[in-house]
A and B are shown apart, each in its own frame.
Chain A
Amino acid sequence: MGKNSKSNDPEQYDAIVIGTGITGGWAAKELCENGLKTLVLERGRMVTHVKDYPTMNMDPWDFDYHGYASKKDRERQKKQARTGYTTGEASKHWFVDDIDHPYNETKRFDWIRGYHVGGRSIMWARMSFRWSEMDFEANKKDGHGVDWPIRYKDLEPWYEKVEKFVGISGKAEGLPQLPDSIFIPPVELNCVEKELQKGVAEKYDDRQIINGRIANLTGGEVREGRASCQFRDRCIRGCPYGAYFSSNSSTLPAAEKTGNMTLRPNSIVHEIIYDDDKKIATGIRIIDAETNEKIEYFSKIIFVCASTIPSTSILLQSKSERFPNGLGNDSGELGHNLMDHHFKVGATGTYDGHQEDYYIGRKPTGYFVPRFRNLDKKSEQTNFIRGYGMQGGAIRNNWTRAIGKMSYGEQLKEELLKPGDWQIGINCFGECLPYHENKMTLDYNKLDKWGLPTVDFDAEFRENEIEMRKDAEKQAVEMLKGSGFKDVKSYNDPCFPGNGIHEMGTARMGRDPKTSVLNKYNQLHAVPNVYVTDGACMASSASQNPSLTYMAITARAANHAAKEFKKNKN
């Protein structure tokens, strides 16, 4: 993955991929492996696997402030810090500078971004779940949003393909609402998580506690250049073992290996060039982030994988006579139907038993509760449609259990060297409906330092999500209490769109060009050589973490594009 100097770049490519995150990496790999000469553009800096993970081996005492960001750093990442866990000393370098990269909030939107090669595939939570038939049918059934132009069977072979390459740790459960992946060994639950599993199994016949499903290699599994997880739980910093899947550890090296990829960091794509005569896109325009030079590159195919908001932003900026409101925006839906999962609702509790037990290793996942609401007649709810999954984990508290208390002295010092009580948490991740009113637009009166328009957000969670949260809070408490947990406390904290970092929609797929932006292969309805395969394409959000589905959709679209390319060539 060398940084090619511009002068050596031929201007004409078979394909251009915009973005190097989880979908850009997959598009690059599939197109290159199909023999297409591919230019891969990334707006941020170069990040080479392992070499550019500066904090990967640092202990708390190696950091100036033992992990806290200094106030000077915090001044520049006020929005990125809204998650509470992104901008500490261990990972702040993966998140953008909010002063250099401003955006606007008609309504609050927590837009958490990473501008560098690999994008957020470096910092993702790695939770990997297939969607089910039910998820693809939901819009049609209840009339929210537009019908997906694909069904589970369309994606199934692509889920299989990406799962084999990525490596998904988990356990087969045979649940219709959460189809099994091709699994490598699961990460076991700890003693207290197993107590919850047992308690829930005894009390309920509609739900279960299962192992987290994550894109980490386990059980001695390896992939090219990647070793099994060492249970350090420092994934967010980049993994020296390549144990979890990222573009940097996996897809970009695979693309590089073909000899067909040219990777160009520091390339801010702001426009796709549309040829009014040929009625296709012919290339893209970039600004070099370091030199401010404006350059054009040309190709037969363009993959827009810049992540949800930037991808739609690029399309909105790509105006022509044919498309005065943005490329492919005949429907007027471009920028609309913005979604994110809502969370920060659930419960915590302690467990009295297992005081003589502990664990070895820091696992990079916890347990998962597959959706159990609105699956069938029996689980139908009156207050909300669709549903939520739940995620959590149990730990034995460390010294932090004494924070905010009033003990002191030698006895305290020695007591805190021992593990404390078992504590468990359970947190809901809920589906958000596709509301036309939830949208992003461009503000041409507020330009960024490259003279480009800034994004404005106008989106909020609505009644269905609010009602769903009330149920999740209640269920979380009941499940913990019913399983013997003590001191159970619920929470339902303010949660703003974006904070789930699953922002999606804004260029939705659909069957009808009048109401959607993309067709069933992720092509712009009216410009078939432009594909959008990141979160922007989503017509609904389901409740599962979305990355695995993005990967499958991207691999499918890239192979479709390669097939069309070869057909046209012959």
Chain B
Amino acid sequence: MDRRTALKNLTLSFGYVVSTPTLMSILTSCTHDEILWKSDFFSDKEKHIVTHLADIILPSSNIPGSLDVNVPQFIDKMLKNVEIESKQISFQKGAAIFGDRFKSKFDKKIVKGNKEEIQELFEKYFDLSEEEKNKVIDEQRLPDDKVSNDKKDTYLMYKFLFSVRNYTLFGYYTSEKIGEEILNYDPIPGKFEGCVPLKEIGNAWSL
């Protein structure tokens, strides 16, 4: 069978492949299309958090950002139809913990939080030294039941944040707009040339 594909998947699994999901509530300070679509999986609170996180992870500039290609809607769909129940629950727990920590920090519900505030909290957990990052990443490789109780909340919150980040990348770079207009799109190359100056090609191939 197609082992080259297997090989590619294998290399993917060295950083871990997209896994998990989020939690509850109500919407207020929404951006973009947040109000305009109806989620199948997310609670209003989860939708609010995920939408802001996706925007923080891949913001819009002169090149479209994650919200321009409906990444939150994509994550909602993946969580509902692709993730198994245990991963869904862990996503929801992680989002709730993130929401709780928001509340402790800003003394208001996260649904009332704006992008700047959510970004401030996110930075606290992601703007780390290399050493600290490696520690977090190593811990994420552990199965749930191998994590001690005092670290469980942080572990689940990071699981949620990684899940949103991974799905944001996946949904964005495999979206039609980015795949066809921003990355190098060539559905029928018609030839193979094994060594061509990069400057003659430009961006990475989308397929």
Contact = CB atoms under 8 A, between A and B. Distances in A.
B59 to A, nearest CB: 5
Interface stretch (B29-37, B103-111, B189-197): B189-197
A33 to B, nearest CB: 29
A67 B10 CA distance: 16
A427 B4 CA distance: 10
B26 interface: no
From A417, A420, A423, residue with most partner B Cβ within 10 Å: A417
A412 B74 CA distance: 20
Given A125-B1, A361-B192, A406-B137, A417 B82 contact: no
Given A188-B194, A232-B188, A418-B203, A400 B12 contact: yes
Contacts of B81: 64-65, 70-72
From B11, B186, B199, residue with most partner A Cβ within 10 Å: B11
Contact of B194 (A67, A70, A189): A189
B61 A406 contact: no
From A67, A120, A232, A396, residue with most partner B Cβ within 10 Å: A232
B24 interface: no
Interface stretch (A38-46, A83-91, A318-326, A530-538): A83-91
B117 interface: no
Contacts of B143: none
A71 B9 CA distance: 19
B17 interface: yes
Contact of A417 (B16, B18, B182, B195): B182
A191 B174 CA distance: 26
A398 B173 contact: yes
Interface in A63-80: 64-72
Contacts of B2: 85, 123, 125, 235-236
A419 B184 CA distance: 10
A85 B194 contact: no
Nearest to B198: A358
Interface string B162-185: 100110011111111001101100
Given A83-B6, A403-B18, A61 B175 contact: yes
B204 to A, nearest CB: 4
A501 B188 contact: no
A61 B193 contact: no
Contact of A406 (B5, B126, B187): B126
A9 to B, nearest CB: 34
Contacts, number: 214
Contacts of A354: 195
A320 to B, nearest CB: 37
A402 interface: yes
A414 B63 contact: yes
Contacts of B59: 409-410, 413
A417 B183 contact: yes
From A65, A190, A392, residue with most partner B Cβ within 10 Å: A65
Contacts of B192: 187-188, 231, 359-363
Nearest to A493: B10
A99 interface: no
A85 B195 contact: no
Nearest to A240: B188
A243 to B, nearest CB: 11
A130 B10 CA distance: 28
B194 A66 contact: no
B206 to A, nearest CB: 8
Nearest to A357: B195
A408 B5 contact: no
B171 A66 contact: yes
A408 B63 CA distance: 15
Nearest to B85: A71
A125 B176 contact: no
B57 interface: yes
Contacts of B63: 413-414, 417
A124 interface: yes
Given A66-B174, A413-B58, A61 B179 contact: yes
B203 A403 contact: no
Given A66-B170, A409-B57, A230 B190 contact: yes
B143 to A, nearest CB: 16
Interface string A366-402: 1000000000000000000000000111011111111
Interface in B131-162: 133, 136-137, 140, 162
A112 interface: yes
Given A188-B192, A360-B191, A409-B57, A61 B7 contact: no
A343 B65 CA distance: 41
Contact of B176 (A59, A120, A235, A366): A59
A405 interface: yes
A125 B6 CA distance: 11
A57 interface: yes
A59 B187 contact: yes
Nearest to B204: A419
B6 A416 contact: no
Contacts of A194: 194-195
B8 interface: yes
A71 B172 CA distance: 22
A189 to B, nearest CB: 6
Nearest to B12: A400
A193 interface: yes
Nearest to B194: A190
Contacts of B179: 59-61
A64 to B, nearest CB: 7
Interface in A403-436: 403-406, 408-410, 412-414, 416-420, 423, 425, 427
Given A404-B162, A410-B59, 6 more contacts: A60-B207, A361-B191, A403-B16, A404-B16, A416-B169, A419-B198
Interface of B: 1-12, 14-18, 56-59, 61, 63, 65, 74, 77-78, 81-84, 122, 126, 128, 133, 136-137, 140, 162, 165-166, 169-176, 179-180, 182-183, 186-199, 201, 203-205, 207
For the complex of A and B, the 10 pairs showing the least CB-CB separation, nearest first, are A404-B15, A361-B192, A190-B194, A361-B189, A191-B195, A61-B176, A60-B174, A399-B173, A419-B204, A403-B15
10 contacts: A85-B6, A230-B190, A358-B197, A361-B191, A362-B205, A392-B7, A404-B16, A408-B165, A413-B58, A419-B204
